[in-house]
Amino acid sequence: MLHCGDLIAPSTLHAVVGLGLPLHVIHGNNTGDLYYLSKWAQEPKNRLQYYGQDGSLVLAERRIFLVHYPHYAKAMALTGDYDLVCNGHEHRAVIERITNIKGGETVRIDPGTVAGVSAPATYVFGDLETLEFAIRPVPAAVKT
């Protein structure tokens, strides 16, 4: 799982840690409690990798860059150094292919806002092997 910033309360991650999936996180302009986030990332059971302002990683042999701001993401996509560049901040879901300076394409994704802040609540689900991605709505909470 990749998180593109504005994680105001790291305690909200408790809901996804139970899934047992690795979680890669950067902070955005709404940084929240960075001390707790850094401390929580040190606990191996959480499978949380906190990068700070931006992060570069390799998953499934794909080079991935995470940053919050779209202008920074577009610039990194143009370099051709990454297969996938993910950003937040726009609060609207975007999937685009950017022709880079090396003559290839880099996929840029903004998953939108899982909280539904100024736009419908969305996330992006995808396949790193094929670099095919889809915007999906966040399901409404089930009331009991």
What pLDDT, on a 0 to 100 scale, did the predictor assign at position 20? 83
Residue type, 36: Y
Is it the case that residue 106 has pLDDT exceeding 70?
Answer: yes
Tens of pLDDT, residue by residue over 27-47, are 888 777 888 888 878 888 888
Helices (H) and strands (E) in the chain, counts: 3, 10
What pLDDT, on a 0 to 100 scale, did the predictor assign at position 15? 76
Mean pLDDT of 99-118: 94
At which residue do the structure tokens 């408790």 appear?
14
Quick check: 117 and 138 in contact, CB under 8 A?
A: no
Q: Quick one: what percent of the chain has pLDDT higher than 70?
A: 97
Q: How is domain 2-137 classified at the architecture level of CATH? A: 4-Layer Sandwich (3.60)
Rounded to whole angstroms, the Cα distance separating 126 from 14 reads: 23
Q: What is the pTM of this model?
A: 0.90
